[in-house]
Amino acid sequence: MQSKKLAGPKPGPSTQKYLDIAEIKEDIVVLKDGTMRAVMIASSINFALKSEDEQRAIIQAYMQFLNSLEFPLQIVMQSRRLNIDGYIARLNEQSKKLDNDLLRAQINDYKTFIQELVSLGDIMTKRFYVVIPYDPLSNKRKGWFSKMKEVFTPVLTVKLKDERFQKQRGELMMRVSQLQSLLHGMSIETTLLDTQGLIELYYTVYNPQTFDTQKMQPEDRIRVEG
């Protein structure tokens, strides 16, 4: 037997307990309340640099976009400090391959200049996301026979749940296609985040301080508690 002192403190509850996310699969975020989310990353428009005719056209397209919506959506802007670690690493690799000392010195000076510029200027990157929700009608009233059937036929229950998920996912994807078409009319290009992209997005949201130093593993190597 071990004393409580030797055994040490018991591990606390998992962080997943406090998140609204139940799982992320097939490019969809499933929340604990049964609702679903799809997330698109969108390009931006420099409205101030457009001509007056272009600005009026964009405003008109935006009005049509709002009037065409039949469901709620969320537009999120994420601001983060510009990370140039990858760029600096590539410069270092190129510098090692050079035989010309003058070119190597110029690359090193340029690298120092870029690092100081980003550090002193506090340069930020902005990303824009469109979150599309889907709230399926849940069957909350189940009869006694339905409940007993689920108990004694778990394989059938899993199959039905998967079929229901695929149907709901298809309806959500129809919303995504509709929004992509409407936003394209305003010269805004969008890309649907896949499962890996969604995991990385939420990882950066919940771990803003450690994202740059603790890179997350690929999707197939992540272990999630049940």
| Confidence bin at 13 (pLDDT 50/70/90) | low
The residue assigned the tokens 């969809």 is 28
User: What does the pLDDT read at residue 7?
Assistant: 53
The residue assigned the tokens 């994202």 is 211
Quick one: tokens of 212?
């740059």
Spell out the residues 6+ positions from residue 97 whose beta carbon is closer than 8 angstroms to its own. none
Same domain? For 203 and 137 the reply is yes
pLDDT at 182 over 60: yes
Burial bucket for residue 144 (CB in 10 Å: 0-12, 13-18, 19+): exposed
d(CA 130, CA 174): 15
d(CA 25, CA 194): 9
Higher pLDDT residue, 49 or 212?
A: 49
Spell out the residues 6+ positions from residue 53 whose beta carbon is closer than 8 angstroms to its own. none
User: What does the pLDDT read at residue 6?
Assistant: 52
pLDDT at 9 over 70: no
Same domain? For 165 and 134 the reply is yes
Q: Which domain holds residue 116?
A: 83-122
**Overall domain count for the chain:** 2
End-to-end CA distance of the chain: 30
Mean pLDDT of 74-91: 83
Residue 55 belongs to a domain: yes
Residue 3 belongs to a domain: no
User: What does the pLDDT read at residue 126?
Assistant: 85
DSSP state of 15: G
Q: What is the value of pTM for the model shown? A: 0.66
Same domain? For 62 and 91 the reply is no
d(CA 157, CA 93): 55
211: helix, coil or strand?
Answer: coil
Same domain? For 188 and 113 the reply is no
Contact yes or no for 172/72 (Cβ under 8 A) = no
Same domain? For 75 and 168 the reply is yes
Spell out the residues 6+ positions from residue 27 whose beta carbon is closer than 8 angstroms to its own. 38, 192, 193, 194, 195, 198
Say how many C-beta atoms besides its own lie within 10 A of residue 124's C-beta. Answer: 11
pLDDT digits (tens, 9 = 90+) for 103-115: 888 888 888 888 8
d(CA 161, CA 175): 21
Mean pLDDT of 25-53: 91
User: What does the pLDDT read at residue 98?
Assistant: 83
Same domain? For 147 and 211 the reply is yes
Say how many C-beta atoms besides its own lie within 10 A of residue 80's C-beta. Answer: 13
pLDDT digits (tens, 9 = 90+) for 118-136: 777 667 778 999 999 998 8
Same domain? For 149 and 43 the reply is yes
User: What does the pLDDT read at residue 15?
Assistant: 63
DSSP string spanning 164-207? HHHHHHHHHHHHHHHHHHHHHTTT--EEE--HHHHHHHHHHHH-
